[in-house]
A and B are shown apart, each in its own frame.
Chain A
């Protein structure tokens, strides 16, 4: 049976991991290769690198980092941050990424997603959506936001996810800006609404604080994968502990 995927996410800037990775036996906490090897040993199903300082000058550093990581771990790598054009996607794929995540650029030029899916295949294109609950006369809906949840776009997040899926995105990396950083759990209604509306895979992100939250995202939220940063970075739980917990709940996971 197809396993649900557990994906640790690493924020990088200038080719270095920037959120505090506190693996006890790691020599250099900022080294993306060491962090990747550690997650590989724990049985992560995939790795996600997001360049949070994506600037034109730092692109080559990012490509170099992706190549380095791809030489050391043999699992799918998703890379995102500042992807604006087909050329950026091509460069990341050539560097060794398996999937490329497009965020803000998709909102400005939706055709980028369509063109990218046609050229590189749906399975390589991930669209990242940052969604936030907004009130309306019908009781509220989720809206796409940019700039870390500060700028509203007026675009309905569920409809947007549907459009991106129809445009050929293979996965939607769905982050709840309301839940992000709270450790109170994924936004389950949002995750479920998107998962039920689209044919693309859904990766739940934002808000995970306990293993129970992971289980909720995959069962009640119907996500295909869960992404988490801090609970893995700070060693609260290992990937293996997470998977053992999920397996005990009857959720299909790969126990490598």
Chain B
């Protein structure tokens, strides 16, 4: 069963439906003990960083997620669910993340619209897979495709090896996907990325890290 973490921040319907369409059996999970049955976790992204990490702290889900990842089972974070993997974020003050990837979450600089640079970064953009001999199995189906992004903040990992795919907004490159071992986080929304997103979710469901 795929545990879709519900931290009370909004509609998880489209993520749940997209996972089901990709062949997953999805259960919405609010309490840490419910993770015992889970073979995979998806942490979706809704709301602001402080609210998300605050809700995870309060329910004890933060520790449960860390235990789950330490057990070696596959984890996927989407958008904010990716950003909480980092050490900290500067969205509405500084807030501590799960600390699985060294580095912080930063805001795109505000630039005059004449330069065509608008916040949030919203729309379809590239996913450039990190150059290595074998592409990450979850990201491999995305080669040459575009995916849907909506975000004003982005992850800046200190170790380039943690950046699994990149994208750039105007002149600013940022991490489109991060991760190591058995966990991965993506900045874009697979559940809104039509076929490309479907293919990623299918690959995640088949991933054996």
Contacts and interface: CB of A to CB of B under 8 A. Distances in A.
A40 B148 CA distance: 14
Interface in A120-150: 121-123
Interface in A185-205: 195-201
Contacts of A5: 123-124
B113 A1 contact: no
A95 B125 CA distance: 26
Interface centre among B120, B122, B150, B191 (most CB of A within 10 A): B122
Contacts of A256: 145-146, 194-196
B148 A75 contact: yes
A2 B119 CA distance: 13
Interface string B111-134: 001101011111111100000000
Nearest to A122: B120
A98 B124 contact: no
Interface of B: 10-11, 13-14, 17-18, 21, 47-48, 110, 113-114, 116, 118-126, 145-146, 148, 150-152, 169-170, 191-198
Given A5-B123, A201-B122, A75 B192 contact: yes
B13 A67 contact: yes
A151 B133 CA distance: 63
Contact of B11 (A2, A43, A93, A198): A93
B113 A199 contact: yes
Interface of A: 1-5, 40, 43, 45, 67, 70-71, 73-76, 93-96, 98, 121-123, 170-171, 195-201, 222, 224-225, 254, 256
Contacts of B116: 222
Given A2-B124, A3-B124, A254-B124, A199 B14 contact: no
Max count, chain B CB within 10 A of own CB: residue among A67, A73, A123: A123
Contacts, number: 91
Nearest to B122: A123
Contacts of B193: 74-75
Contacts of A200: 118
Contact of A96 (B11, B48, B110, B146): B11
6 contacts: A75-B193, A76-B148, A121-B47, A122-B119, A123-B120, A198-B113
B4 to A, nearest CB: 15
Nearest to A73: B194
A5 B196 CA distance: 17
A79 B120 CA distance: 19
Contact of A201 (B118, B125, B198): B118
Given A122-B120, A196-B113, A224-B118, A76 B125 contact: no
B17 A71 contact: yes
A199 B146 contact: no
A76 B192 contact: yes
Nearest to A222: B116
B198 A1 contact: no
Contacts of A170: 120, 122
